[in-house]
């Protein structure tokens, strides 16, 4: 067995604010294998984006602070790298795409220029070769008339097309890891379907691994091999996609599934998760989900559950026995 592409061990990211230290990521550990698509799901403030930003070392320090027992990417200790070395890793080895492509693209530079710049800097291509490669890339992400659109500016593209450009830039240096942070959230469903298909085929072609960050359980079900469910800065459940979706083992995962309206099911009343997520600036000694949990047991009120392997490869930090609480779809 080969070593994992990415190993994250006990990642802790915190911010100093006027209300005290906010633990945005609070002891997250996971591994990502080569060629794997890993989902990170959770609601806003759950720490899923912060986890990605921490891995990319994009957290401004101060006010932030990123610590980890291990943060290893393809044999490289990311925490030991200088800012310069990290710049190279970010450009060529780990690529990231965001929710809002308009903000990630420079509005005063043509799309072709932004693409070729990356290519020239990181792949040391000359002008003509970079241009050829840029056209290839745009064609690859399904932009019609790629050649004539090299000179176009970001605002001349639709939202879906801009996200395609972002993907082209992200994949231009054949990265081994692609981090997509809510990459399709701002897009319409029909365009989202196109982009998801595109990412699926492209990463298979270049053999990249993906961390897919989303709040949309449906997308994760479609795309991912494994999923980490995050809540209040921690991974509360982790496992192969089918195990987590068909046998949710944490009260939060179960709650999330029960409150999501589904297009394939006849409308029964939704079962919302009552209350609000916890304030991350306060110390937590019990399960962070306890105040909102509908399945808590006595033990939840006395000690904090650890993340344990309940089934092979299926981890959860929950004392409640949730067997049978979720409809078995298959």
Partner 1 sequence: MTYSSPSAETEIEIVRNETGRQLAFRQFLRNRAATVGLVCLLVICLVAIAAPLIAPFDPAAIKLSEKLRPPSLIHWLGTDHFGRDVLSRMIWGARISLSVGLTVVIFALATGVPVGLISGYTGGNTDNTLMRLMDGFLTFPPLLLGVAIVGLLGPDVQNVMLALGIVQMPVFARIVRSATLAVREETYITATRALGAGVGRIIGHILGNIMSAIVVQVTIGFSAAVIAEASLSFLGLGVQPPASSWGRDLSEARRFMNDAPWLFLAPTAAIMICVMSINFLGDGLRDALQPRSWRSHRPAAKEPNAT
Partner 2 sequence: MTSPLLQVENLCVSFPGTGGARVRAVDGVSFTIERGKTLGLVGESGCGKSTTGYSLLQLIKPTSGRVIVDGIDIASLSRREMRPYRRRLQIIFQDAAASLDPRMSVGDLIGEALDIHGLARGTARLPRIRKLLDLVGIPARLLQRFPHELSGGQAQRVAICRALAVEPMLIVCDEPVSALDVSIQAQIINLMQDLQKELGLAYLFISHDLSVVRHISDRIAVMYLGRIVETADKHEIFGSAAHPYTKALLSAVPVPDPDMERTRERIVLRGDLPSPANPPSGCRFRTRCPVPIDDCAQIDPPWKTLSETHHAACIRIQGIPETSLFEGVRY
Residues that bind partner 1 (CB under 8 A): 15, 17-19, 22, 24, 45, 59-60, 63-64, 276-286, 290-291
CA distance 144 to 110: 16
Query: Where do the H-state alpha helices sit in the chain?
Result: 48-55, 83-88, 101-104, 111-123, 127-140, 146-149, 159-171, 189-206, 217-223, 241-246, 251-259
Asked if 170 contacts 92 with a C-beta cutoff of 8 angstroms, the reply is no
Q: At what angle do helices 159-171 and 189-206 cross, to 10 degrees?
A: 10
Question: Which of these ranges, 3-11, 132-140, 184-192, 202-210, lies near partner 2 under the rule CB under 8 A?
Answer: 184-192
Question: With binding defined as CB under 8 A, does residue 158 bind partner 2?
Answer: yes
- Restricting to residues 271-290, which ones interact with partner 2 according to CB under 8 A? 271-274, 276
Question: With binding defined as CB under 8 A, does residue 322 bind partner 2?
Answer: no
Q: Which two tokens stand for residue 80?
A: 């030991």
Omega before residue 62 within 30° of 0, cis: yes
Which residues are CB-neighbours of 209 under 8 A, at least 6 positions away?
5, 6, 32, 33, 34, 35, 36, 37, 38, 176, 177, 178, 203
Q: Which two tokens stand for residue 205?
A: 């072609």
Q: How far is the CB of 187 from partner 2 (least distance, A)?
A: 9
End-to-end CA gap in the chain = 31
Question: With binding defined as CB under 8 A, does residue 205 bind partner 2?
Answer: no
Residue of the chain from 217, 230, 232, 236 that contacts partner 2 (CB under 8 A): 217
Please work out the total of residues on this chain that contact partner 2, with binding judged by CB under 8 A.
Answer: 49
Question: Which CB, 13 or 163, lies closer to partner 1?
Answer: 13
Question: Which CB, 78 or 217, lies closer to partner 2?
Answer: 217
Question: With binding defined as CB under 8 A, does residue 297 bind partner 2?
Answer: no
Which does residue 18 touch among partner 1, partner 2, none (CB within 5 to 8 A, set by kind)? partner 1
- Restricting to residues 43-102, which ones interact with partner 2 according to CB under 8 A? 43-44
Question: Which CB, 30 or 245, lies closer to partner 2?
Answer: 245
Q: How far is the CB of 32 from partner 2 (least distance, A)?
A: 19
Q: Which residues bind partner 2 (CB under 8 A)?
A: 43-44, 144, 158-161, 188-194, 197, 215-222, 241-242, 245-246, 255-257, 259-267, 269-274, 276, 292, 329-330
């Amino acid at each position: 067995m080969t070593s994992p592409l990415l190993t994250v061990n006990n990642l802790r990211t915190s911010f100093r604010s006027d209300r005290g230290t906010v633990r945005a990521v609070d002891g997250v550990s996971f591994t990502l294998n080569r060629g794997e698509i890993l989902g990170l799901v959770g609601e806003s403030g759950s720490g899923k984006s912060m986890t990605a930003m921490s891995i990319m070392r994009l957290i401004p320090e101060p006010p932030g602070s990123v610590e980890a027992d291990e943060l290893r990417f393809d044999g490289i200790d990311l925490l030991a790298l200088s800012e310069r070395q990290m710049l190279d890793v970010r450009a060529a080895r780990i690529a990231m795409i965001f929710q809002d492509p308009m903000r990630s693209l420079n509005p005063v530079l043509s799309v072709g220029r932004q693409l070729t710049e990356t290519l020239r800097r990181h792949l040391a291509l000359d002008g003509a070769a970079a241009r050829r490669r840029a056209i290839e890339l745009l064609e690859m992400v399904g932009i019609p008339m790629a050649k004539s659109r090299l000179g176009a500016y970001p605002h001349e593209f639709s939202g879906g097309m801009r996200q395609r450009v972002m993907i082209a830039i992200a994949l231009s240096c054949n990265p081994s890891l692609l981090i997509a942070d809510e990459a399709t959230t701002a897009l319409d469903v029909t365009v989202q379907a196109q982009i998801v298909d595109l990412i699926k085929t492209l990463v298979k072609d270049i053999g990249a691994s993906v961390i897919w960050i989303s709040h949309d359980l449906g997308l994760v079900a479609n795309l991912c091999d494994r999923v980490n469910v995050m809540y209040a800065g921690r991974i509360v459940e982790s496992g192969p996609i089918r195990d987590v979706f068909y046998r949710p083992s944490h009260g939060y995962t179960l709650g999330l599934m029960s409150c999501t309206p589904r297009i394939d099911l006849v409308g029964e009343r939704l079962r919302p998760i009552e209350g609000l997520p916890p304030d991350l600036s306060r110390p937590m000694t019990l399960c962070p989900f306890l105040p909102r949990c509908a399945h808590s047991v006595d033990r939840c009120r006395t000690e904090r559950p650890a993340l344990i392997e309940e089934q092979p490869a299926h981890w959860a930090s929950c004392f409640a026995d949730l067997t049978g609480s979720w409809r078995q779809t298959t």
